[in-house]
Structure 1
Amino acid sequence: MLSLLPLLVASCLGVAISETQFSVRLKGGTACSGRVEIYVDESWGNVCDDGWSLNAANVVCRQLGCGPAQEAYSSPKFGPGLASDPILISELYCSGQEHSLGECNYKREDTCDHDEDAGVGCAEKYLGIRLVNGPNKCSGRLEVNYNGQWGTVCNDRWDMLDTKVACKELGCSRPISANKCEAFGKGSGPIWLNEVICTGQESTLSECKANTLGAHDCTHAEDVGIECMEPFEVRLADGPNRCSGRLEVFFKHEWGTVCNDDWDLNDAKVVCRELACGHPEHRKALKPMAGMASGRIWLDDVACHGSETSLENCKHRIWGFHDCTHAEDVTVTCTGVQDP
């Protein structure tokens, strides 16, 4: 074990240690829940619960590679430390954004008893999520992998914000629907997650609040099923090269065209940028091409500012609503493939 060589910084709270990361472990529980112990001055010891908070617990959970803190225990829920174990820090104050408890403010004073040992309950680790029994990788019954075993998610409190995070983690686009119970069949085995609460800003479900893994009052009739849009794609079809042709977009597992109502060079500029094809040729960007498409017309009245990175970010009518024929399909000609 590496010895601690801290940089000491004076603070109104006593002495704070910064620019150091010391080891943390949990005892008396699981890998992600237990009594907090830290390694300071070449010995393991406890943390007094004076000033202990959910912010501090979140730092511990992050340092351990677990999910977000569910509880910050200010009593020895997981049993007191040994009488021979030192209580190394007290009056710990964290913002919750630190990467290590060593970045928080605290006092190095042993004024507490072991019945004040701090503990945490973090969301347990899990390896990933998937959708099964759906028509594509972005629709299906939601399953979570924990300790190598796949299980389902209960729909208690599940909503579109939770679905938004799941879609993001899966590499899909925006959510279409949430909580489609039994639409993709009942699962089997464990129900890992329940009472999931996301803000929508998280990158993975593991960052959202939830009950302890495996704690629920559900049946598989309540398994969550979701639908996300597949990743947005555009292409230029039936042209002389990939940077010139009829504009097509992918939606609901099907390629379709774009109507030229209100289409202008700002819109074409976004398409050329998204395809890494340089800039639209002014004289050719709006010129009709020979040949006519068939199938769906997905977009109409597209209105881009020209600075968007994707046509997906531009305003348009609801997908599939239009007053056009394929004689009005947009075509785009770009200057060519951009240099890397």
Structure 2
Amino acid sequence: MDHLLLLMMLLVCSSGLQAERELNSTEPGVRLVGGESRCAGALEVEHEGEWRPVGEGYSPWTLKAAGVVCRELDCGSAVSVGRREESSGRPVWWIRPDCVESGSALRECAGSSSSFYFLNLTCSDSVRLLGGTGLCSGRLEVNSDPSDPSWSSVCEADFDQQDAQVVCRQLGCGAPSVLQGALYGEGEAPMGTKEFQCGGHESALLDCSSASERSTCSPGTAVSLTCSEPGGVQLVGGESRCAGRLELEHQGEWRPVWGSPWTLKAAGVACRKLDCGSAVSVGRRVESSMRSVWWIRPDCVESGSALRECAASDSSSYFLNLTCSDSVRLLGGTGLCSGRLEVNSDSSWSSVCEADFDQQDAQVVCRQLGCGAPSVLQGALYGEGEAPMGTKEFQCGGHESALLDCSSASERSTCSPGTAVSLTCSDPGVQLVGGESRCAGALELEYEGEWRPVWSYSPWTLKAAGVACRELDCGSAVSVGERKESSMRSVWWIRPDCVQSGSALRECAASDSSSYFLNLTCSDKLFQPNISVSSSMYGVSGAQQQGFQAFRGSTFTISCSIQPQYPGGSFLLSSSTHNYTQPAVNHSAHFLFPAAEPAHQGNYSCVYHVSAFSQNFSSESRLLSVTVTGVPSDPEPFIIRAVVLPLTQLLVTVGLYFYCKATRGRRPSRQEDIELDYDDLGVPAEEEGAQGAE
């Protein structure tokens, strides 16, 4: 009896501790309230012991973010996300959708705020697709018992086209396009699944009648399903179907698209979906009144998600305007301005034979794509693709605005593999202005023929700034900040995460306006030092010498210098056997060798070291070869030539100077005239005197 009482006390204590742990748990609860089921309604999160609705902030929630909540609730996939408005504000948890999409827990992304708008979600409840490329593809799993949180695959033999129609509809997707076993992974062999018998009109798979459960089925036969993406995409109001206002059909409604400034990289997704080549420009149009829009974040699109996954309901008076290249595109390159050329001349894309394409044609294509002048034109540089067939020989003058505006010769039936044109156009210009050097100042980008400063709401990191520094051939980024002006002006809005992903600055640029501008300082590349040598004996300068020969015991000087760039610094004169260091004075240093010895032989270089921006930089000169030879075999001629002869010449010159000075001004006597028959020039003195008298 005592043992039984003790056991009961232990159970009570343990349950109390468990309850206390649950009460004090910092992990928040998540629920949907006010909907037709536990998998639909207003999103609420328990955080710090308080249940609050989740408010919709400046970034509307997308299906991609809502899918995280649905999975956490074990409610399948996200079908719709919207908002509910109340007349009075109340405390909410404000959760950024991009934070949730990045893989962070809801609690990590939560911040306290107040709002009039609250998130409403609908999840697919009893069906989900796993392992696919988006919300509308994957391996099918079904939860047929709400009280049991287990999911199971479906046997391929128990599922047909009518069943697939119901599942696609329940997920908010379009009609089924592919129905195949194990297309998106086998998963576990389906066990205890039902054979569904849908008519195709039901709103949910569990509304369909079903046969008795199958105990098991063969591995590799789990149903994989691909539904078409719902809705369409179109550009309206432009000069062609490949230009105009971007509109998306979603949840049965056509609306314009808006979002944080769209980049060319994001716009390219829409152009490809429209089969309109590459994105050339992206901008915005303003209308006088607000209207419903699909708000789509460009970074969500750039990540590879479908437009529908990135769409959220919102209202705005701003709408996206896109222009696509229409009939030309570059594939497989490093960005929008390089790749294998393909042309759409008759509702189908084909490569172009290298023999049918020249520099003038390339100029037109680069201009049509919004890129700079062509820099590389080569066959199969970016992959061969298929051998071009039925292509035209273009005959452009170089001034046309589009390749199809050029005249063309008759079509060629085919050409050899590996000869499809690959083209690289130059990117637009980048510069830093207003700083102390060309490697410091406000970052400006030339795009669409216009220089504008660069700005972004997301702070730029040194990693992103380093991309601009490298493009400017200015070393690495040292600092990045902002400068504010009193008035707004047009800017190129560039997200740092887009640049850091490896995309070119142009691909990440979107038109915007701001009074803030980015200021960068790059480390700059040090100039190469100069190395020269001189000898007091010969007075020769070695500024252009590759080598220098010194006699043993002679004096020579090696000088290091560098163009003015940074104050201070030091020079290291280095060879394989010697290292000498001097501070840089007026950007130079002089190393004296008073007596040359064989040990001084070697290849010397000047290495300049300087500290700037809290970093150390160095640069090395070319090599200078120094050899030391012995004193000549007979030293006397050397001594006579170097010392005695110059001294003798000096004495003779001084003697003649004083002699002439002493004899100038007094007339010699007749006797003296006779004795001095000739002067040093061989002229008779008497005759000379006579000529002077006359």
Q: TM-score range by the shorter chain?
A: 0.3 to 0.5
Q: Quick check: which one's helix share is greater?
A: 2
Q: TM-score, normalised by structure 2?
A: 0.20
Greater Rg over alpha carbons, structure: 2
TM-score after normalising by structure 1: 0.37
- Structure whose residues are more often strand by fraction: 2
